[in-house]
Amino acid sequence: MQKATINSLLAATTAAIVLVMLVALRFDAHWAGGEGYKPQATFLGMETITLDGEQGETGVLEASRGDVLRTQSFMRQYRTYGYDYPCNIWLDQNTSVTIVNAQEDETEFALTAGRIVVDCKAAVTAREARIDVSGKATAVNYSWLHTFDAVLLDGTGAYTHGNVTLALPQNTAVSMDTIDNTKPVTTTGFAPDASAASKFYEWALGDE
């Protein structure tokens, strides 16, 4: 009986240690081999303009992990937050994007619909389609067509569709189906000034 009790205690202790290690790894604790806890940032700077370039609302409007950023049919929006470097995003009209993660170097946006330009190390997803970039990229979710287009504008990146992950080429639009990850990925040339959204890119990329 005593031996069974000792074995039970050992099993319970081992299970507790494993559980603590799993929790520590989940939160990236240093002593568990991680990089340490990374706080969630808050998007602070915000600027809104109308489609004809008129200045709209500006200032500080907080948004953090889990929040949904939306633009209406008559407006575009710029937002930023900073760590050692800023993460800047530009949203075209009729865009909806969720801040999935706002940790440094692990920023992630879920693009439900519309068009975004991202300038930082971040991921942009749309169901079965995903890009990871370190630099500047643009992505569009044509939600009614179940199509996600992404272009690496500067820096490095990769796209993932199903179980396939490949390098994201610069200045080439990569098109993925957001529902059926078995459909082939296609590529086309990309020229911001020839795009149907040329006015958006003129504004979002105007500082280049």
| Residues 152-168 pLDDT 10s | 999 999 999 999 999 99
- Per-residue model confidence (pLDDT) at position 15: 64
Instruction: With a cut of 90, say whether residue 56 has pLDDT above it.
Output: no
CA gap 143, 165 in Å, rounded:
22
- Give the chain's radius of gyration (CA, Å): 21
What pLDDT score was predicted for residue 153?
A: 97
User: Which bin fits 160, alpha (ψ -120 to 50), beta or left (φ > 0)?
Assistant: beta
Give the separation between CA 165 and CA 63, rounded to whole angstroms: 30
Tell me phi and psi for residue 162, to 5 degrees: 70, -130
Q: What is the spatial distance between Cα 197 and Cα 76, in angstroms, rounded to a whole number?
A: 12
Q: Are 200 and 115 in contact (CB under 8 A)?
A: yes
How many other CB atoms sit within 10 Å of the CB of residue 32? 14
Give the range with max mean pLDDT: 11-20, 47-56, 85-94, 141-150: 141-150
CATH of 43-204, one of 2.60.120.1440, 3.40.50.1100, 2.170.190.11, 3.40.50.300: 2.60.120.1440
- Tell me how crowded residue 208 is: count the other CB atoms within 10 A of its CB: 10
pLDDT-based confidence at residue 36 (cuts at 50, 70, 90): low
Residue 150 has pLDDT above 50, yes or no: yes
Q: Which two tokens stand for residue 85?
A: 């470097």
Question: What was the pLDDT predicted at 89?
Answer: 94
Cα separation of 30 and 131, whole Å? 28
List the domain boundaries for the chain: 2-32, 43-204
